[in-house]
Amino acid sequence: MVKVTLDLDKCVACGMCVQIAPEIFENDMSTLKVKIIGGEREGSMWIAEVADASGAERAATGCLMKAIVVE
């Protein structure tokens, strides 16, 4: 399992992460940004543990604003 965080303060909702890893990320109409599927929101961060890091790592690399961190 790897930890994935999404910083909403940096996210501009370009949707690149949703296109790259739709199994992890989805559009969040309540914030007009993106959220992590099955994640928990803590302030301006979405945090989740995912079993397969490959999609999250591709999304982090593709994120223009560097809002995604995979640990």
The answer to whether the beta carbons of residues 20 and 54 sit under 8 Å apart is no
**Residue reference for tokens 């995912």:** 50
Distance CA 70, CA 38 (A): 16
Q: What is the pTM of this model?
A: 0.94
Distance CA 36, CA 40 (A): 8
The DSSP symbol for 60 reads H
pLDDT of the residue at 15: 95
> What mean pLDDT comes out for the span 30-43?
95
The answer to whether the beta carbons of residues 63 and 13 sit under 8 Å apart is no
How many structural domains are present in the chain? 1
pLDDT score of 52 more than 90? no
Other Cβ atoms closer than 10 A to 52: 12
Look up the CATH number of the domain holding residue 57. Answer: 3.30.70.20
- What is the extent of the structural domain holding 34? 2-70
> What mean pLDDT comes out for the span 8-30?
96
Mean pLDDT of the chain: 96
pLDDT of the residue at 70: 98
